[in-house]
Amino acid sequence: MNESKGGAGAYLLIMLIAGGAGFYLGQQNAGTPTTADALVADVDCNSDEVKDCLNAEPIYNVPVGNATTKGKADALVTIVEVSDFQCPFCSRANKSVNALFEGKYAKDIRLAFFHNPLGFHNRAMPAAMAAEAAGKQGKFWEMHDKMFANQRNLTDANFDKWVGELGLNAEQFKTDMKDKALTKKIKDQQALAVKLGARGTPAFFINGRYLSGAQPVAKFEEVIAKALSDAQKQIKRGVSAKDVYAKLTSKGANSKITKAAAPGAAAPKRPAPPADTRQKVPAQKSHRGQGNWPAKVTIVGYSDFQCPFCSRGAKTVEEIMKNYGEDVYFIYKHNPLGFHPNAEPAARASEAAGLQGKFLEMHDKLFADYKNLTQDNFEKWAGEIGLNVAQFKKDMVSDKVKAQVKKDTAEATKVGARGTPNFFVNGIPVRGALPFDRFKPTIEAELKKANALIKKGTKLKDVYAEIMKDAGKAAPSFKLPSAPAKPKGPVKVDDHPEDMAFGPKNAKVTIYEFSDFQCPFCSKGAAVVDELKKAYGDKIRVVFKNLPLGFHQHAELAARAAHAAGQQGKFWEMHDVLFKNSRNLGEEPIKGFAKQIGLDMAKWEKDLNSPATKAKIEADKALAGKVGARGTPNFYINGEHIAGAQPVDNFKAIIDKQLKK
């Protein structure tokens, strides 16, 4: 479509463009005439200029200010990184940023670090202060690297340790950690980031172009290429390199811009839930397979090595193979979830081991220690299972291995395996980390189906393909048994000889508390219990019962740690410090807490791992199921149930009523 200058068609087109992207034009061209005479020109609807305008993203004005930077001051591309040291996605993004400084644009980029310590990360603000305090002694980036390498252990003790390792003046560091000017700097950066739309982390502004999330290196390079092209145009116009960033962003947006949807555009629809039909799941003999191929029943499992439920699912697979090994073939496939930062590297580690014929051996190592999936451990385990470690490291980053993981992940989406673990028994979906007895009816039914086909003349090697002809048809019912009914009336909670309790055994009111040290609601519940202790003293007895939930990675360890402390009469001291640091639990922090409260460490470590301690935790969990405490926290006050971290007055009403009896 071509129109002559001054034609109505051209005018309308430009008005539509200006209207559709007016937020961009208005922000970028402040002071530019917007009359029809200035805007109207020969316009081709298919021209690059029109397409660029319609698709343009806003440029933001992000002053670098007093942010700590890395790279040349006159670099043509400035990347402002908005980050949080306790955010796992920021750690992943940091790897991409590091790769940029080793890649083809290394000489063209400058990095400016903005803090955005998120409120639900309890160690993010102290970590930001630690980085800035180190920065006052010229070691910001060194401390930055220490914290991202150890982001699950951002403790004061570790800050002090890293101060020593970096050769900082410890007294000056401690003083600077309290510097109100540094606090203001961090909060000012956070406020600006939020104002510009970067509420979460990580986020980036590349010469003012917004890029959200832990993107791969290729995505960064794509945006950098555009930014570099714009910068080079400014150089050709005579702008000095040191002024390019200011020139490109000076008229940028000063607050978040929401691009209007195209007229008539429908809101995106959420994907339909996976169908409860037999799925056509690709299956063949594989280095990731267990059992005899071909088999009457083929089970494909899509899994994630960092997922605690998948670890549990792997144990179910062991039981299935133990009982049906002659008739079942199991194939492991990858579906590393985005919020598990170590899942994708672990998947590649297993594939690299598979190239040397040791997939299953690495599979077992990874699930046995799914909380510690580090490159050092991958290489350690590779050595332990007899791999050529140099070849293993090379294969881990090979295109072949990456392609296999990517292929499996795409396939998982196609067959409806959104989360993990997801299993398909001859294509029938069985979702979640279910126990063996939940798989058994489906396996038995499919064996019966396979035997009938074989009896009619189908060869064993063709059974799976024949069954796949039923793909798309309703899957046989696989209903889970109903959850046991909750007890009615006052609930009797059994005592255990090793219960940890506060208050006299003959107290008129006994409160049983089922709790999890990593649960934020339990932390609130613990605060309520503290108020009750102060208010009622010896009139009440509080008995702590452990209910570490499976999806809380450190909850079981914390429960054992508290019980082991109780063997030295310091249960409540450990209880308090664990809840105070419920977002920073792990082997090293918990060990630090044990030292902090003055335990005999040799005895504590022995009790921590003793069969008796483990048996007590298991007994508490079994009791929780018996009395109907399925989540956390749950309380029973003389048998009367309170679910959740309710206000203290709700507890007092029941206690007062019981005391009057």
Separation CA 554–CA 243 (nearest Å): 50
pLDDT at 268: 46
pLDDT, tens only, 263-294:
444 444 544 545 578 999 999 999 999 999 99
In this prediction, residue 585 has a pLDDT band, given cuts at 50, 70 and 90, of confident
CA dihedral angle for residue 272, residue 274, residue 279, residue 281, rounded to 10 degrees: 100
Q: Structure tokens of 542? A: 């509080």
Helix (H, G, I), strand (E, B), or coil: what is residue 240? coil
Find out whether the peptide bond into 294 is cis, omega within 30 degrees of 0: yes
Q: Which tokens in the block code for residue 388?
A: 């050529």
**pLDDT tens digits along 65-81:** 999 999 999 999 999 99
Angle, helices 343-354 vs 359-368, to 10°: value is 150
pLDDT at position 214 is 87
- Do 415 and 279 touch, CB atoms closer than 8 A? yes
Which pLDDT band holds residue 349 (cuts at 50, 70, 90)? very high
Contacting residues for 105 by C-beta, under 8 A, at least 6 apart: 77, 221, 224, 225, 228
Residue 301 above 60 pLDDT? yes
CB distance 421 to 302 below 8 Å: yes
Instruction: State how far the Cα of 136 lies from the Cα of 70, in Å rounded to an integer.
Output: 15
What number is the average pLDDT over the span 572-577?
95
Q: pLDDT, tens digit, for every residue of 589-601?
A: 999 999 999 999 9
Examine the pLDDT at 98 and tell me if it is beyond 80: yes
pLDDT in tens, 163-204: 999 999 999 999 999 999 999 999 999 999 999 999 889 999
The architecture in CATH of the region 68-249 reads: 3-Layer(aba) Sandwich (3.40)
Cis bond before residue 216 (omega within 30° of 0) = no
pLDDT for the residue numbered 52: 41
Instruction: State residue 487's pLDDT score.
Output: 59
What pLDDT score was predicted for residue 274? Answer: 54
**Which residues, in sequence order, are bridge partners of residue 300?**
331, 424
Rounded average pLDDT over 363-378:
91
Q: What is the mean pLDDT of residues 525-543?
A: 94
The mean pLDDT value for 638-646 works out to 90
The 10 Å CB-count burial string (b at 16+, else e) for 547-573 is bbbeebbbbbbbbbbbbbbbbbebbbb
Q: Which amino acid is at 443?
A: I
Pairing of strands 328-334, 297-303: parallel
The answer to whether residue 574 scores a pLDDT higher than 90 is yes
Residue of 427 and 274 predicted with greater confidence: 427
Say whether pTM exceeds 0.75. no
Domain with CATH 3.40.30.10 in the chain: 68-249, 289-470, 500-660
pLDDT, position 60:
94
Render pLDDT for 430-474 as a digit per residue (tens, 0 to 9): 988 888 888 999 999 999 999 999 999 999 999 999 999 998 888
Mean of pLDDT over the chain: 86
289-470 is classed CATH 3.20.20.80 = no
* CA 350 – CA 302 distance, rounded (Å): 14
24 Cβ neighbours under 8 A, 6+ residues apart: 56, 57, 58, 59, 257
Contact 17, 50 (CB under 8 A): yes
500-660 has which CATH code?
3.40.30.10
Are residues 337 and 92 in contact, defined by beta-carbon separation less than 8 angstroms? no
